[in-house]
Every structure is written in structure tokens, then in C-alpha cells.
Structure 1
Amino acid sequence: MLLRIDASSARPLFEQLAAQVRLAVVSGELRRGERLPSARDLARSLDINQHTVLHAYQLLRDEGLVELRRGRGAVVTAHAAERYEPLGRAVEQVRREARRLGLPLSAVATMIDRPEKDGPR
């Protein structure tokens, strides 16, 4: 699994890392039981602070996507793929519909990212 960051992005680095791990789970690139790189190794390879990686891993732990195990590092949980699989299918449907309508995915992302009009349901 190749993780990348964009230092020029306004999005915090830990959020960029967490988003990429989520995407890897949704796409099937990461499966239950698989280990993520150690925080130290990933920080070194990306030339960022180790605490930034740990922050991303803790966020993913809080979401139930990974377990943090002493001595084993971050491991994808068994139910992670189950939770994200239906969302992945829905996103693929949205992508197909956007292509059919000739809409750029950036427009779709903007629509998803805007606040809800009626508030949370």
C-alpha cells in the first residue's frame, strides 16, 4: 500500500493519511487482519513527524477501522470492511451516474462535502 501526502494541501496531514487508509479498505486493497506500516517507518518514509502518523492511526482506531496493538502496530479490524463495503458500492453508483451525466467527480465531491440543509437526520 502506497500512502502519499500533499504538504501544500490545506487538509491536515493526519486527515490525509486517515482518508487514504479508509480508501484502501473500501477498495479492498487493505483487508481485515492486515497490518499498517509502523508509525515510525511511515513517518520516516513520508518525512513527517511520527506523532502525525499516530494521530491518524488513533483517529482510525476511534472509528473502529483499526486496532492498535502493542508490539503489532495498527491492524485492520474484522468489521472494518463490512462497515465500508456498502458505502463503497454506493460511491461506485454515484461515480457511474456522474459519468453518465458528464459531470466531473470534483463537482460530486463538492456536493457531498457541503453541509446538509436540514441538519443531521
Structure 2
Amino acid sequence: MLLRLNASDPRPLHEQVAGAIRRAIAEGECGPGDRLPPARELSQALGVNANTVLRGLRTLRDEGVLEFRRGRGVTVADGADRRSDLVEQVRALVEAAARQGYSKTDIIEMIKGDV
């Protein structure tokens, strides 16, 4: 799996790590059931601290994109390829709404109102 971070990206590094893994999943570089390299290897390849990588991995675990299993490492969750696309679209929506002055609560109210 080839991951790259963009030095000019203003997002925090852990978000960039999570985004790079989402992108790799969406582009088919790894799929459901595939095992990711250990965080230490990822951190060395990306040139960031291992804790930064772990924070990005935990974000993806919380989103249901990755699974952490003792003794088996970190694997891509079933359905992650579809879920990662949706999560990325939701993030883009939240960012676009924030630029226009809307909060997450405003977006939720719009969705509840069947916009």
C-alpha cells in the first residue's frame, strides 16, 4: 500500500493519514479483510510519529472502516470500501457547510427536514 501525505495540506497529520488510508481503500489498493502494515512501519514510511499514525487508525476504527484484532493486527472492515467513500463525502459536506457559516447541528436539522 502506497500512502503519501501532502506537506501543503493544512489538515492535521492524523487526518491526512486517515484520508490516505481511505483513499487506498477506495482505489482498491486494499480491500475488506486485508491486513495493514504495523503502525511503526507506516510511520516510518510516511515520516511521521507512530502516535500520529495510531490516532489516524483509531479514527478509521471508530468510523467502522478498520477493525483492530488482538494477534491479527489492523484489517480493513467488510464494506469499508463503500463506507470510506460515504465518510469522505460527509466530511466534504461538513467542511463546505462550515465555509458558508452552517454548523453540524444546522446540517442535521436540514437532513431531518428531508432537504
Q: How does 1:65-76 map to 2 (within 5 A)?
A: 65-76=65-76
TM-score (norm 1): 0.69
Distance 2:4 2:36 in 1: 14
Q: Closer, same or farther in 2 for the Cα pair 1:65/1:111, shift >3 Å?
A: closer
Structure 2 unaligned spans of 5+: none
Structure 1 unaligned spans of 5+: 92-109
Q: Which amino acid aligns with 2:96?
A: R
Q: Which amino acid aligns with 1:7?
A: A
- The aligned counterpart of 2:48 is 48
Distance 1:111 1:63 in 2: 16
- The aligned counterpart of 1:37 is 37
Out of 77, 83, 107, which is 1:119 matched to? 107
Distance 1:39 1:49 in 2: 9
1:59-85 deviations in whole A, cap 9, x for unaligned?
000000000122322100112124346
Runs of 4+ in 1 over 6 A off after TM superposition: none
Q: Please state how far the C-alpha of 1:35 moved relative to its aligned partner.
A: 1.1
Q: What is the count of residue pairs matched by the alignment?
A: 99
Distance 1:20 1:68 in 2: 18
TM-score (norm 2): 0.72
Q: Please state how far the C-alpha of 1:37 moved relative to its aligned partner.
A: 1.4
Q: Secondary structure at the match of 2:97?
A: coil
